[in-house]
Structure formats: structure tokens, C-alpha cells
Structure 1
Amino acid sequence: MKIPSQASYIINTLYNNGFEAFLVGGCVRDSLLQKSPQDYDITTNALPEDVCRIFDKTIPTGIKHGTITVMVENNAYEVTTYRIDGEYLNNRSPEEVIFVSNIKEDLARRDFTINALAYNDTDGLLDFFNGIDDLNNGIIRCVGDPNKRFNEDALRMLRAIRFSSQLGFSIEESTLRAISQNSSLIQNISVERIADELNKCLLSNNPSNAFILLEHTGLLKYILPELQACVGFDQHTPYHNKDVFMHSLSVVDKVSPKLYLRLAALFHDIAKPPCFFIDEKSVGHFYGHDKEGEIISKEILKRLHYDNDTINKVTILIREHMNVLFKPKDASLKRLIGRVSKELVFDLLELQKSDILSCAPPFLALDSVELMKVKITAILESSVPIHSRDLKINGNDIIQALNIKPGKQVGEILEYLLNLTLDNPELNTRENLLCLLETFKPQ
């Protein structure tokens, strides 16, 4: 394993001061998988105060748990003292840690065998729990008793599924069984930590596999009960050959790995169960599920503490995902762009295309989406107005021309003028728009 020079400097410095040190965890795992590590964590038998004494620039980021951040040329490396964990609180974190001198004791407390690996150039690779075999065989397995590991930190259940999804590994039988047995413990984990793992699942190469495992193990009903309601939900329509859950996962797999786009794909049909009814011919319908889905998805994302920008993008895409326009007119497409935004409109088209391809063939609406894409591209490459800010006059011009006060009416007039120019873009000149002010009639 090739150790970066700065990490090597930290390890060598600790050795030169009478201690030992190893790279540990994810960086060792990823290097063995021929992947580029995101960061390099170091473990040592030096106590936190020793680390602070030995290195010039340190930050006591997690000193309670033995972690000191060592700065090397403005790059941060976490250096953690070998430890065993005390009693865990609420399946989340240990009440205390006990520093030890034996690295095997430290590695024994870690979650999975593939993460319980350590390496330095002096001692080579340390593998006390057959992590290399599990890496070679593509297996996620707990270190020791899986029930104990998940009771210590219930987030590890989600991490097992996330690693399975990211790496394409299977979860070992007793580990998988323990997730099902302990699934209710996930309720003790903060929504921020849960959302972070969900995001990593969504951005993996196999997002649908992750959510199938979440459902299979019973975690889904605690994390996303609204999505659990879609499992096995027969759509009773010739246009769909999958239940709502599997259809949604198919769409997730097909869209690009952008978090907001995959969230929109996951939740785009979330309101189908509450909006479902069957007509007299036993055909299912879901009228209004796009608008109701906007509301439900917003509630879910707020509950999981997503940021406002993500919530806004996801809910816009869900609200508009049914607007596949057949023989679309330019004015209708401009209004669609105005509602969705130039930034998101091609994401919407990708969501619509993936939605169609996840239905039952033939995929008749695909040609319409492709035509929309061609025409929207041409519209965006032109200078035609799409928003009121694209008009050749602004609110101040209206106030002066009509001698009115600033207020709601100015916005109504701008919207009126925009609607006129969407149908007739040649009207977008200062002279024409000032003349058209006379045709505005207040509601």
C-alpha cells in the first residue's frame, strides 16, 4: 500500500518518538480495492496529550474519544488513540472510551471486518478478523457478534446496507439477520445521520439494491414509512408492469447521480397510494398524485432536515413530472421553463424519460420528451423572454408610465406582459410593452 507523504510523516514521527501508528479503516479498505481513499485516518498507542506535544499544529477535535487533528501543510489528518468503548447510550455512542496499548483491541471494536484493517510500512497489513477474505469474496460481515455491534450503534445497520450498495457486496447471513432483528433501534439515531447514509445509498452505483435491503430488513418502515406504503402496491393499469415501489426504484437507477434528482425519482410517485382509485372497468387512476407528491415529499425532506435548496428542487421536479407535452407549442414550453427554471428543466426531462422507461412498453411518450428537449434547447439558445426579468421594461418603468405606487399590481402587470410575449416574442420591445400597458385591466 502506498502511503501519502504527509500521512507517512505523521506515522514516522510517532515511531521516532517511541510510539507506533497505522493507517486504519476506510483508507486501507479502499486502497486494497484499487480505489482512491477520501481521507487517511491514523491510529496510535500515543495518548492525545502525546500527539499534541509531538506535533506543532493540532486541533482537539474529538479529544474526549481520543481524536486529535494533526495539520500538515494545511491538510488535516485525524490521529486517534487505540481504545475500547465503554457502555453505549441509546444505541448511538459510548458513554466513555478507555485507551489501550494493543491495536488488536482497538480493531475488535470496529463495525465490519473490511473496516478493521490497519497498515504501515514497518509491520505491513494487520488483519485479525479475516477482512481480506471478505474483501476478496465481496462480503459485508460484522466484527464479532452482529447483535452487539448494532446495539452499540444502530447506524451500523444502515452502513452495512450502504457499503453493500456502494461496493456491490452481499451482506453475510448472520449480519443480515441481525439487522432485521434490531431494525427498530434505528429510531434512536438522529435524522441527520440517517439522511447522510441515505444520500450515500442514493448516489451509489446500486441505489435500488440498497432500498430493497432497507425494505427486506424492516428498516424502511421506520425511516420512510411513506415509501413503505408503496411496497407491493398494484397500480391496476396496463401502463405499469411493476408495483409503485419497484417502479420508483427503477427510475432512481436510471437518472443521473445527482442527489436532488435521485430524491425526486425516489419520491415522484410517493402520493400514488393515497390518491388511488379504481374505475368501473377495474383500471387504477392516481389523479393529482403529482401535486400531492409535492406536499408529501416536502414533509419527508423537512423531517430528515434537508436544506431548503434541495427541498425546492426535489418538490419542483415532482410537481412537474407528469407534464409531458404532446405536440408542444413554444409558449407552453416557455411557461414550463418559467415554472421549473432553466437550471432544472433538463433534469425534469431526464426524470420524465426515466419514468417512461420504467413503465410497461411500448414507451409511446418517449418521442414527446425528445421533441420537448429539442425545442427547449432552441428556446434557451434564443433571446426570447421566459421570465418577467427578461422583458425590455421593468417595474420602475411601469410605475413611471402609469403613475402608480409600488405594490402587488406592478407584479400583476409584469406577469400580464410576460404572458403576451410568451405567445408573441416579437412584442418584447420597450415601445411595444409601454403601449400594451393600456390594455391591462385589473382583476
Structure 2
Amino acid sequence: MNLTKNYVTRDADLNSNIGNHAVLDIIGNLKRHGYETYLVGGAVRDMLIDRIPKDYDVSTSATPEEIREVFSRKRARIIGRRFRIVHVRAGSQIIEVSTFRKSPSKKEIEEADNELESLRQEDDINHEGHDEENNDENSHHHHKHHQHKHSQHVDHSTLIIRNDNEYGTAYEDAWRRDFTVNAIFYDPVKKQIIDYTAQGLSDLENKIVRVIGDPQTRYSEDPVRMLRALKLVGQYGFTLEEKTQSALLEMQQSIQFASNSRLSLELEKILKKPYACDIIKTFYQYGFLANFLPNLHSVFQSKETQLAIQLLETRCDFINQNLIPDYLTNAMSVIALPFIASEFSGNHENAIFHYEHDQKKPMRRVLRSVFYPLNFPRWMVYEAIDAIFMQNRLFSGERSHKIKKHRSFYSAFDLARVVNHCIVKDEKFEVFWEKLLHHKK
């Protein structure tokens, strides 16, 4: 890749858009110890378009060992085997800090995929107890336990590409990134923006997604870059730059060569977000869904999929309004519900069908088919099906005091709120349950 030394700097105070003050403390601390340090990636992109970032990434010239020395072993934990980043604890929050790196080779990306597969298997093993035998109504899991369980699901997304411990400069680190709009660095101490590609700021202003370097080469190195390009189109309404788009349309079938674990993780990240629906629609419009989720693509115009999209849109709206949390299992059940209802009741809108207990296994089979060939941890599949299975009892109010103690109750209740808004439209439903849930003994 040709790294021209022309880059753009601009004075700008974006600190008011940083919603997490721990980020400022961490960057300031590293800089006081003499290390070049920036806020990088999607957080800077979001701040420049007046959005408050949800996630923050910090890059520095300090090695993982030096980062840990600055913050102590109690606060800083080095994670990863071949590729190492540091999680710095700030109260209850974790900030990811990585060392400037050069661009990884294709072989290194493949090795990272293998490590990701191992990590996902470990995560699934840790949740093996979540099945119907251990998921009865007598397991008294309340909402805080439900939240805690979800918080313990390991997000391995930070480990995917950073498998190379060949450290570099800030300039090299920017040029190894995928798109110009994601390669803008911000120094909150100097209050300065650095655009090492000299195109990121103008592309962001013009809402353009441009691959850094030759698109065909970069897609060949890592096909997942095509997925991420379309995510930006769906999430922000950006437009693909001409060469970025033509290479994507020509090469999108190669996404099938990316590891299943990697693509499954990307799907998890998409479904959790409040813009999931827009991204899935974008995938379909570009023909990308045929290679990503071929079963869903083949029935995209069906009444089941259209209802699933409607339910997913409502879920996204509810997340934006802070009415429900962004749990992945809720998105899974929202999308799968019309297909399961159609399969077992003959009516895709029969969201409150009374399922028999022995139908849970074939229900799980339908859910997995919708998302084929990608997969979720087994415990998530079980919980998503539990949520669908419990809809009939939630809307009937049958044994309400008992069902609210079910370990999957809150997943089922979040789904029911979406179902009620789109399909059932029972004005008394939420009043009944809110009164019951807030009733003090």
C-alpha cells in the first residue's frame, strides 16, 4: 500500500461529545507518561457528525506491558493470545486500549479467525446449563440476574483483526484501517483532529464510504470489509465510493470464505443495534444478503419476512426510546417468530399460539434455519425460543405470578411488548404486567 505522507490536521474541540469521561482520563494519563495517544475509529467518526458514541477505542504508542504499568495490574488486563490489547477498568466501565500496529497479513487474519472460533466455543461451554431442563419456572432469576447474565456474554469483536503484534506508528495504524471515515484520530488534550489519509474528513462531510487502498486488494485480504462497508451505508445513509462499490458488487460472493465464527459475530453485533433493520435491508438491496443469510434472502419478499422486518423496526424504535434493552436474544426471537408461527400454527401472525413443550426442539430448528449458515451460542437459541414459547401465557395472564419468576421472563416480556405493538394491540396488556411487576408484597 502506498503511504503518502500528506495528511490533514484540524483544531477542534470534540470533548463535549465524549459521553464517557473515563476516556479522557485514560488518554491524559498515557500522554502524561510520554506516550502518543489518540481516540480513534468509529467514536471519532460519530462525534464529528454530532452523535454520542457508545463505544470508545484508544490507540497509543505504549505497548500492552507499558499500558499495564501505567494503570497497574488491578486496572489493566492484557487479553488475547496471538494478538494483545488491554482492557482498562474505570469504575464499572471497560475501555479498550491498543498499541499502534501495522497492517496484518492475510495469514494473520486467518489465525485470528481460528482464535475467535476457540473463544466462541469457550463462551458456549460456559452457558451449557441453559436448557429446558434447567429453565423451569422455579429458577428464581430476577431482572438484575437476567441483565448480569447478558453482560457476561463475551464480546470478542475487539480481538478479530488485531492479531498482529507487529507494532507501528500512528500513521501506519491509520492506514491499516478499513475506510477513510474510520481512520480519523482525535487528541482530546491538544483538541486536534488528525486525518492521516487526507480524505477521511471530506468523505465524512460528503457521506462517502471509501476503502483505504485498492478495494479489490483490501476485500481479498479480508472479505468482512465488504460487510462493514454496507453497515455504514445502512446505519448512516452513506454512499459507497465508485471503486469501493464496483469491487464489492464483483467480489461479494467471497464473503462466504470468511470464517463462520467471524460472520456470526458480525451478525450478533448488527442485531443488537437500533439500526439493525436498516442494515439488513441494505444487505438485501445490494444482493449481499444472498451470500450472508441465503435462507432469509430467498424468502425476503414473503409475508413472514415482511412481518419480521416490521417487528424488528418496532424493536429498533423501542431501543432508541429506551423502552427495552438491546439484548441479542430479543432480536433473534423477533425475526424468527413469524417463521415459527407459520410453521406450527399455519398463520405467520399467530404470535400467541399455544406451543407444546415437545415442540421446542423443532422450534429451535426453524430459528437456526432462518439464520443459516451462521449460528449463535446454544444458550441464546434456547432463550430466544423460550421467549416465543411463553407468549401465549404472557398474553393470557395465566399463572402470572409464577411465570414472572421464569429465568427467561424478561426476554419474553420484551418480545411481548413488540408483539403487542405490532400484532395484538391489547391496550390492557402492559398495564396488567406493569402493575404486577411493580406490586410490592
Give the TM-score taking structure 2 as reference length: 0.62
CA contact 1:30–1:36 (8 Å) conserved in 2: yes
Q: Equivalents in 2 of 1:82, 1:380: separation in Å?
A: 50
Q: Identify the match of residue 427 of structure 2 among 352, 370, 374.
A: 370
Matched, 1:296 2:366: yes
Aligned to 1:110, what secondary structure does the other structure show? coil
Contact kept, 8 Å, 2:186 with 2:194, in 1: the verdict is yes
Does residue 226 of structure 1 match 2:295? Answer: yes
- Is structure 2 residue 309 aligned with structure 1 residue 249? yes
Counterpart in the other structure of 2:140 = none
1:170-181 alignment runs, 5 A limit: 170-181=239-250
| Inter-partner Cα distance in structure 1 for 2:300 and 2:372 | 23
Deviations 1:99-143 (A, max 9, x none): 445x33332221111111123355932213311122223333221
Task: Supply the distance in 1 between the matched residues of 2:401 and 2:63 (Cα, whole angstroms).
Answer: 59
Partner amino acid, structure 1, of 2:46? D
**What is the match of residue 212 of structure 1?**
281
Match of 2:157 in 1: none
2:232 paired with 1:163: yes
Q: Residues 337 and 127 from structure 1, CA distance in 2 versus in 1: closer, same or farther, beyond 3 angstroms?
A: same
Equivalent pair of 2:101/2:173 in contact (CA under 8 Å):
yes
Rg bigger for which structure?
1
Matches within 5 A, 1:400-415: none
What does 1:180-219 align with in structure 2 at a 5 Å threshold? 180-219=249-288
**Contact residue 68 and residue 86 of structure 2 kept, 8 A:** no
Q: Residues 313 and 49 (structure 1 numbering): CA distance in 2 closer, same or farther, change over 3 Å? A: closer
Quote the Cα distance in structure 1 between the aligned partners of 2:438 and 2:78. 53
2:410 maps to 1:343: yes
Higher relative contact order, chain-length normalized (CA < 8 Å, sep 6+) = 2
Match of 1:39 among 56, 61, 79: 56
- In the aligned structure 2, how far is the partner of 1:62 from the partner of 1:309? 24
Paired residue secondary structure (1:23): strand
Q: Partner letter of residue 384 of structure 2?
A: V
Residues 171 and 248 of structure 1: CA distance in aligned 2, closer, same or farther (over 3 Å): farther
Equivalent residue number for residue 382 of structure 2? 312
| CA RMSD across the alignment | 4.4
* Alignment CA distance shift 1:8-1:374 (3 Å): closer
Contact 1:149 1:156 in 2 (8 A): yes
Question: Counterpart in 2 of 1:333?
Answer: 397
The Cα offsets for residues 392-427 of structure 1, whole Å up to 9 and x where unpaired, read as xxxxxxxxxxxxxxxxxxxxxxxxxxxxxxxxxxxx
Post-superposition offset of 1:383: 11
- Structure 1 segment 264-303 matched on structure 2, within 5 A: 264-271=333-340, 293-298=363-368
- Give the CA deviation at 1:174: 3.6
Distance 2:25 2:440 in 1: 53
CA distance in 2, matches of 1:94, 1:39: 16
Aligned residue for 1:78, secondary structure, equals strand
What CA distance in whole angstroms lies between the structure 1 residues aligned with 2:246 and 2:260? 24
2:172 to 80, 85, 105: 105
Does the Cα contact within 8 Å between 1:166 and 1:204 map onto a contact in 2?
Answer: no
Question: Could you tell me how far 1:230 is from its partner in structure 2?
Answer: 1.9
The number of equivalent residue pairs is: 347
Which residue in 1 is equivalent to 2:222?
153
Amino acid aligned to 1:144 = G
Cα distance in 2 for residues equivalent to 1:181 and 1:294: 35
User: Could you say which residue in structure 2 is the equivalent of 1:441?
Assistant: none
Equivalent pair of 1:294/1:316 in contact (CA under 8 Å) = no
- Is the Cα contact below 8 Å between 1:110 and 1:116 reproduced in 2? yes
| Cα distance in 2, alignment partners of residues 251 and 79 from structure 1 | 38
- Give the drift of 1:254: 0.7
Distance in 2 of aligned mates of 1:178 and 1:337: 57
Gaps of 5+ in 2: 1-13, 16-22, 114-160, 320-325
- Residue type at the aligned position of 1:131: G
**Any idea what SS the aligned residue of 2:299 has?**
coil
Q: 2:86 matched to which residue of 1?
A: 69
Q: Give the drift of 1:248.
A: 1.5
Distance 1:142 1:119, change over 3 A: same
Spell out, residue by residue over 1:73-99, the C-alpha distance to the aligned partner (whole angstroms, 9 max, x if none).
786552413423334467665986654
Secondary structure at 1:22's aligned position in 2?
Answer: strand
* TM-score when normalising by structure 1: 0.62
Aligned-pair CA distance for 1:375: 5.0
Q: For residues 186-235 of structure 1, give each alpha carbon's deviation from its aligned partner in whole angstroms, at most 9, with x where no partner exists.
A: 333344433333233223333221111222334423443332232123xx
Is the Cα–Cα contact under 8 Å of residues 269 and 293 in structure 1 kept in the other structure? no
**Contact 1:69/1:78 (CA < 8 Å) preserved in 2?**
yes
> Which AA in structure 2 matches 1:160?
A
Query: Which residue number corresponds to residue 30 of structure 2?
Result: 10
Q: Look up the equivalent residue of 1:253 and give its one-letter code.
A: E
> Is the contact made by 2:106 and 2:222 (CA closer than 8 Å) also made in structure 1?
no
Deviations 1:224-261 (A, max 9, x none): 3332232123xxxxxxxxx4323311210112333322
